A and B are shown apart, each in its own frame.
Chain A
Amino acid sequence: MSGVPGASGVPRVPGRVPDPLEVPLLLPGDGPRAPRTALRALTGHPLGFLRTSWPWRSLAYLLSGTVFGAVPALVVWLAVAAGPVAAVAVVAVAAVPGALLAGRYERWLLRLVETAPIADPHAAPPAPGPRAWLRTRLGEQATWREAGHTLLAVTALWWIDLGFVGVGVWIPGLLLSAPLQPSSPLGPALSLLVSLGGVALLPLAAYPVTIWAGARATLVRTLLSDPGAELAEITRSRARLADAFEAERRRIERDLHDGAQQRLVALTLALGMARLDLPAGSPAADRVAEAHEHALLALAELRELIRGIHPRVLTDLGLPDAVLDLAGRSPVPVETDVVLPRRPPPAVEITAYFTVGEALTNVARHSGASHCLVRGRLVSEDPRSGGILVLEVHDDGDGGADPAAGTGLAGLADRLAVVGGVMSLSSPAGGPTLLRVEIPCP
């Protein structure tokens, strides 16, 4: 059902689809189609995989991870040498800086098995100085995720790393070196056979090593990156795009208004004056009369066109007046009740305006309503994050409005999605219909 374009009014958030424009720094020798993570590389051709650098990178990654094993060793050594109290004290003092360092180290290491870097999830301290720094670090989620990661790395990850390195390298190595073991109970022939088995095992070992390296990297990425970063960036770029479109529409509107529209008014004026001076009934008078009518029509059409691009009443006076203007044009009597304590940002305003316009068009065309009410309020206003613009269009028509039926409602939902808005529709058969729109209003 969602396969039909435009059939679904629900905005879709793009998933993690490989995007050619998003290609990060490439590894040496890698083409644009090369896999970007060790795990992805595993799904390629098995022999081809062995020829890449991924198994070696994975091995290096796991070996680097075993560094965390030094921490428990250090604690044990301290506990033995200076007593358990000193050990606990050292761990307590070093915990936060240690976790931060560990996080940084792991993010850096991750580049071994994933080409896409992780952005630093930490916020910049609002003021210089160690006090502000510490307060910021202790107050943000990223620090505590890093602490969690460090705890996990110290208690579990390092010996699992070691285990996989052991399985992958140590066992084949042991087998390989069978002929060289002086105290081997095997005969020379059997030793050689075991050694050959080691040779066969070595490439196979690349798989468990890479699989664990990939899984570990995924875990680390989840813990050490800002979970909302990607979505926030998509949202921001979408908002920037919407703002750019909006600015462009306003520019076009201004140009048409200051240029073509003024000239057309002047033209209708000049033609109207010419009509006065020409003797009535003369061929010239008829021609000029015709031209005058055309110019008046062109002016009316241009006015409508400009209104569709970006209504001046909205730019000048804001949403309540613009909704009043829309209501005045509706063939169905429309009552308006839009009260806003401030003007929303332009992109929100214009989206809200076109939403109400489309809704009123639908009411007039399809609903058979005799009365319609448009309400608008700014709710949950908060000085930091702004509020939510809520618009409701009620009508007493026949109901049965269906976003899938091509009534323009699907287009509305798409338009709203750009500014992060949502639409809900209640339209039982027999009516009444309520269209409700909520737009975040920073």
Chain B
Amino acid sequence: MRVVLAEDSVLLREGLAGLLERFGHTVAAAVGDAPALTAAVAEHEPDIVVTDVRMPPGFTDEGLRAAFALRAVRPGLPVLILSQYVQQAYVAEIMGPGIGYLLKDRIGHVREFADAVERVAAGGTVVDPEVVRQLLAHRRDPLRRLTPREREVLALVAEGRSNAAVARSLVVTEAAVAKHIANIFAKLDLPLAGDDHRRVLAVLAYLRG
């Protein structure tokens, strides 16, 4: 898989490039600002863009904007966004197929991170658990009917994990996970859907009310 990486900290950029290569991907370009990201994507046509939100020159949300400008021209271009903190105001709005949103701290969990890159590249949706936690914190009423276990399952589902992955993560059987999910969807009045990312989107759509 060919990756274009945009991150202004040299230390992290090199670390991320090393990580991606360790998992068998090709880092076509590793750049340090938004214009270079746009140029690199035009040149290399990568399978996925991994970008920091904040980048030079303005240090606000250049990376995010550049990524979405690229997506406007190349519909469906997978983008994994790395952020220093959860920007709740728009995180639920920007999510969609082939988009991932992770906090930078998550990079340290290398296996999960590599897994997230692959899932986003495959058109899936990945949301940082912290986002789900914060969104859950806002919501009362129906979400309060969920048991703590169901909340855990919901958070993992919102990260874009399959039933098997959720089951591994919680050390339960897949059947148990399926039952939890059915319960959650029933409690939240969510339509049942097949694809992972559709489930995620359904959850997010619900969470942002």
Contacts and interface: CB of A to CB of B under 8 A. Distances in A.
A320 B138 CA distance: 14
Contact of B134 (A258, A275, A325): A325
Interface stretch (A23-31, A151-159, A262-270): A262-270
19 contacts: A265-B15, A265-B105, A266-B11, A266-B15, A270-B15, A272-B109, A273-B22, A276-B22, A276-B110, A300-B105, A303-B105, A312-B85, A321-B88, A324-B88, A325-B134, A328-B133, A333-B137, A333-B140, A334-B137
Interface of B: 9, 11-12, 15-16, 18-19, 22, 54, 60, 84-89, 104-105, 107-111, 133-135, 137-140, 144
Interface string A300-313: 10010000000111
A287 interface: no
A295 interface: yes
Contact of A269 (B16, B134, B140, B144): B16
Nearest to B109: A272
Interface string A243-267: 0000000000000011000110110
Contacts of B109: 268, 272, 296
A61 B149 CA distance: 87
Contacts of A275: 110
Given A273-B19, A328-B137, A265 B89 contact: no
A295 B108 contact: yes
A359 interface: no
Contacts of A271: 108
A59 interface: no
A299 B107 CA distance: 11
Contacts of B89: 317, 320-321, 324
A149 interface: no
Contact of A334 (B87, B104, B111, B138): B138
Contacts of B9: 258, 262
B54 A316 contact: yes
Given A327-B137, A335-B138, A262 B110 contact: no
Contact of B137 (A269, A296, A303, A329): A329
A217 B7 CA distance: 69
B12 A266 contact: yes
A153 B22 CA distance: 92
A258 B10 CA distance: 11
A372 B190 CA distance: 26
B88 A269 contact: no
Contacts of A299: 105, 108
A329 B110 contact: no
Interface of A: 257-258, 262-263, 265-266, 268-273, 275-276, 292, 295-296, 299-300, 303, 311-313, 316-317, 320-321, 324-325, 327-331, 333-336, 370-371
A333 B105 contact: no
A273 B138 contact: no
Summarize B's interface: helix, strand, loop or mixed: helix
Contacts of A257: 84
Nearest to B53: A316
B158 to A, nearest CB: 14
Contact of A329 (B11, B87, B134): B134
B87 A333 contact: no
A258 to B, nearest CB: 8
A293 to B, nearest CB: 10
Contact of B19 (A269, A295, A330): A269
B73 to A, nearest CB: 27
Most B CB within 10 A of own CB, among A265, A292, A371: A265
Given A269-B19, A276-B22, A313-B87, 9 more contacts: A262-B12, A269-B16, A269-B18, A296-B108, A327-B137, A331-B137, A333-B137, A334-B138, A336-B138
B139 A333 contact: yes
Given A273-B18, A295-B108, A330-B137, A325 B11 contact: no
Contact of A321 (B15, B87, B105, B133): B87
Contacts of A371: 140
Given A313-B87, A320-B89, A265 B107 contact: yes
A272 B110 contact: yes
Contacts of B138: 327-328, 333-336
Contacts of A325: 85-86, 88, 134
B147 to A, nearest CB: 17
B110 A328 contact: no
A371 B144 CA distance: 12
A317 B86 CA distance: 11
A187 B139 CA distance: 107
Contacts of B54: 316
A270 B11 CA distance: 11
A270 B15 CA distance: 7
A275 B87 CA distance: 31
A331 B133 CA distance: 10
Contacts of B111: 272, 276
Given A269-B19, A316-B60, A321-B89, A328 B134 contact: yes
Contacts of B85: 311-313, 325
A331 B9 CA distance: 34
B146 to A, nearest CB: 13
A320 B89 CA distance: 9
Nearest to B16: A269
A266 B7 CA distance: 13
A271 B15 CA distance: 11
